Amino acid sequence: MLRSSSSKLLNPVTYIKGVGPSRSDLLLKEKGIKSQWDMLLDFPFRHIDRTRFGTIKESADDGFPVQLKGVITHAKIAGTGRGKRLTANFTDGTGSLSLVWFQGVSRIDKMITPGIKVILFGKLSLYNGKKTMAHPEMEIVEDGALPPSQRTGLQPVYSTTEKLSSRGLDARGLRRIIKNICSQLTERDIRETLPKYLLNKLKLIGRYQAFMWIHFPQNQEQLKAARKRLAFEELFVLQLRMLFRMSARKMQLKGFKFDQVGQYFHDYFSKELPFELTRAQKRVIKEIRSDTRTGIQMNRLVQGDVGSGKTIVSVMAMLLAIDNGFQACMMAPTEILATQHYLKISDQLERIGLKATFLSGNVKGKKRKEVLENLREGNIHVLIGTHALIEDWVVFHKLGLVVIDEQHRFGVHQRAKLWKKSGNLPPHVMVMTATPIPRTLAMTLYGDLDISTIDELPPGRKPVKTTRTNDRYRGRLNNFLKSEIAKGRQVYIVYPLIEESSKLDLANLQQGYEDLLGQFPRPQYQIGIVHGKLKAEDKDMEMRKFVEGRTNILVSTTVIEVGVNVPNASVMVIENAERFGLSQLHQLRGRVGRGADQSHCILVTGYKLTKVARKRMEIMCSTNDGFVIAEEDLKIRGPGEIEGTRQSGDIELKVANMAQDGLILQTARKLGKKILEKDPTLSHPVNELLKKIVESDSASRLLGRIG
């Protein structure tokens, strides 16, 4: 965090009026708030227009707060000790409402007299069939004067917890504390971080004003201006840091030059391609070709939906390396996935005169020694394997290209170890993911990589037919599965496994397995079962039996591997589908549809679905496009939950929203690029503030800089 000339905001929250030592400790435990600056960064999650009123008649018990104006007709205290409570009757002319307080009973009782006019704010619920409001915020309406809430424009609402609320730090208490902080601040305390030319170009308000208005705006225009400024700052800082890193890397990190497109590349293209490349595949190969001929290290993310042909693109990139006298390697996260890559790629390469070899932790003794000797002497052109490739005892003759599959499954340090195996210059790096990532999120998570997208499927691939059903039609579903198996096809049946209820979920999985044994008896049908509690060797054995066609049905949790290719599997049944996210459902669906036969994905749900769950099912049944699904998933769940995103704590957006702020993000990136093109080292005086941004110690909590 960059310090400002004023240390006021770095003081502990203990010294703010209304906090004190015990509340300060609670704020730290419950919300991680330590300093006054942390408190100021605890932005409201919404604002309420307290100038608008509802009526009792029209208000619903839907969990949303409502503001009412009326009269308390009578009140009484009931119970004793911990059971003591104050109840009151409130009316606004359209109906009546029961009010109840369990805390501060004596204090509130003194405020209330029959006939008193009040404004209430709170959530309605039903108790014994009558509308009730517990612990409402209450203001007395004086004749001829507006109460404080109506004089403050939009009122901020802050997130709180049960423990905080019990100590007076509910949304109202937090609002009071933040108001105390804001009342003491000047522009010297929250100094500007963006140069004046950017503020003028984008018509952004100053940083101090943005902080004041994000908490206490007088109207929607002020709130909008504050949010726009702070969202831009977050996204711009993030993009500028990434672009600066990328620019510095390209200036400093030279790479091998792949000048030739040689015989191996042409032989593979003309003899071994199973079908014509799509336009998207050709575009990505051109981008890789362009990268590898510059003399600068390539760092490129290739993302594409399941079955879009990323592996073929990676093979052609490897052939570019081989044609220029280099070796290539491919690292996959699991042995079964690495083995499938090896079996598919090695046959094709062998037919054009090249040698590919497999290496994992299970390759030992004489076999391992032979592989390592041939690799060191340059007799192996392509090495395919698991994380064993990063071990110190793996030495290449001349490594020029590294391909990493499902790269989010590997840590930064694991990837970096591979980059050091090529001598003086780092190898070119191509990372692949089958998890489609929305454009805005990809720019945020992988903004320091060049990104290629394979956004079309090869010709002849039949879209997977997706339908939804429930237990009422279980018999019909089983008959359909039997008909598919009779055609010689195989079936996945997947159950959810959620950590918090793993015992219950495993019981469901086991019960489902036993029910299937009754419906699909041996020896006519063979059923395998896989889950995370199995030993690794047992899991691998069951997976291999299914891959080799020795079992008809594989009952599994979500441990079935991303990328495992079983062309004969034509049906994916997902039990309790409402418990899965969209991206996960799409990944599971991608396990089928890999052969020439029509494939099916059947979503089995409960009878009652939430609006969100119903929406997810509708999206899954309406499209097979992983990028459309990823965009919808981002809208529903937010960036933090998207499966396959970078495992890193360096991004914590407090104001910007990836689902809503795509245009702001694109503007931020475009401006960042222009600034660095003109001033790559940010040494010009007008970019002094930006230089501080890229040199600051942490990218986490991007707004967490005082000045």
Averaged in consecutive runs of 10 residues, what is the pLDDT profile of the chain (707 residues)?
54 86 91 91 86 85 81 89 88 91 84 88 85 87 62 79 84 89 90 93 95 93 95 91 84 87 92 86 96 92 86 96 96 86 92 95 92 95 93 93 77 71 88 79 74 82 90 92 94 76 64 90 92 81 89 86 76 92 87 84 90 92 88 72 43 76 88 93 92 68 55
CA 699, 701, 705 angle in degrees (round to 5)?
85
> What stretch(es) of the chain map to CATH 3.40.50.300?
263-292+308-433, 465-623
Report pLDDT for 707.
52
Report pLDDT for 646.
41
Q: Which one-letter amino acid corresponds to residue 100? A: V
Report pLDDT for 334.
83
Burial class (CB in 10 A: 0-12, 13-18, 19+), 344: middle
CATH 1.10.10.10 correct for 52-151:
no
Report pLDDT for 195.
94
Report pLDDT for 606.
87
CA–CA distance, 653 with 660 (Å, rounded to integer) = 13
Q: Which one-letter amino acid corresponds to residue 434? A: A
What CATH number is given for 263-292+308-433 in this structure?
Answer: 3.40.50.300
For the CA atoms of 53, 57, 59, 60, the dihedral, rounded to the nearest 10 degrees, stands at 180
Query: What is residue 443's DSSP assignment?
Result: H
Nearest partner of 434 among 636, 627, 599, judged by Cα: 627
- Fold of the CATH domain 465-623: Rossmann fold (3.40.50)
Record the pTM.
0.69
Pairing of strands 130-134, 465-469: unpaired
Please report the DSSP string for 552-577 in residue order.
SEEEE-TTSPTT---TTEEEEEETTG
> What stretch(es) of the chain map to CATH 2.40.50.140?
52-151
Q: Residue 327: which residues within 8 A CB-CB, separation 6 or more?
A: 321, 375, 378, 380, 381, 382, 383, 396, 397, 398, 399, 400
| Strands of 382-385's sheet in order across | 356-359, 382-385, 327-331, 399-405, 428-433, 299-304, 450-454
Report pLDDT for 5.
35
Angle between helices 335-350 and 536-547 (to 10 degrees): 40
